[in-house]
Amino acid sequence: MRRLRDPLLWLLPLLLFLLLGMPVLRPLFAAAFPGTTPPIYGDDSFLALFLSHAGYVALSSLAAAVIGIGLGIVATREWGAEFRPLLEALATIGQTFPPVAVLALAVPAFGYGPAPTMIALTLYGILPILKNALAGIGSVSPAVREAGEAMGLTPFQRLRDIELPLAAPTILAGIRISVIINIGTAAIGSTVGAVTLGNPIIGGLVNGKVAYVLQGALVVGVFAIVTDLFFERLGRRLRRFAARD
Q: Which stretches of the chain bind another protein, using CB under 8 A? A: 82-83, 85-86, 89-90, 93, 96-101, 104-105, 107-109, 112, 141-154, 157, 162, 165-166, 180, 183-184, 187-188, 191-192, 198, 201-202, 204-205, 210, 213-214, 216-218, 220-221, 224-225, 228, 242-245
Q: For another protein, which is the closer residue by CB, 69 or 117?
A: 117
The answer to whether residues 122 and 116 touch, using CB atoms and an 8 Å cutoff, is no
Alpha-carbon 226 to chain mean position: 12
To the nearest whole angstrom, how small is the minimum distance from the Cβ of residue 48 to another protein?
18
Q: For another protein, which is the closer residue by CB, 63 or 226?
A: 226
Q: For another protein, which is the closer residue by CB, 3 or 152?
A: 152
Sequence-ordered alpha helix ranges (H) in the chain: 7-21, 26-32, 46-75, 84-94, 99-110, 114-138, 142-150, 155-158, 164-188, 198-207, 210-241
To the nearest whole angstrom, how small is the minimum distance from the Cβ of residue 122 to another protein?
17
To the nearest whole angstrom, how small is the minimum distance from the Cβ of residue 23 to another protein?
19
To the nearest whole angstrom, how small is the minimum distance from the Cβ of residue 112 to another protein?
8
Q: For another protein, which is the closer residue by CB, 48 or 242?
A: 242
Interatomic CA distance for residues 214 and 98, integer angstroms: 24
To the nearest whole angstrom, how small is the minimum distance from the Cβ of residue 82 to another protein?
6
Q: For another protein, which is the closer residue by CB, 47 or 105?
A: 105
Alpha-carbon 143 to chain mean position: 34
The sign of the CA dihedral 159, 231, 103, 101 is: negative
27 preceded by a cis bond (ω within 30 of 0): no
Q: For another protein, which is the closer residue by CB, 173 or 192?
A: 192
To the nearest whole angstrom, how small is the minimum distance from the Cβ of residue 240 to another protein?
11
Cβ atoms within 10 Å of 56's Cβ, excluding its own: 24
Supply angle C-alpha 75, 57, 206, rounded to 5. Answer: 130
> Please, how many CA atoms are within 13 Å of residue 129, restricted to the half-sphere of its CB?
27
Q: For another protein, which is the closer residue by CB, 24 or 242?
A: 242
Rounded to 10°, the helix 7-21/46-75 angle is 130
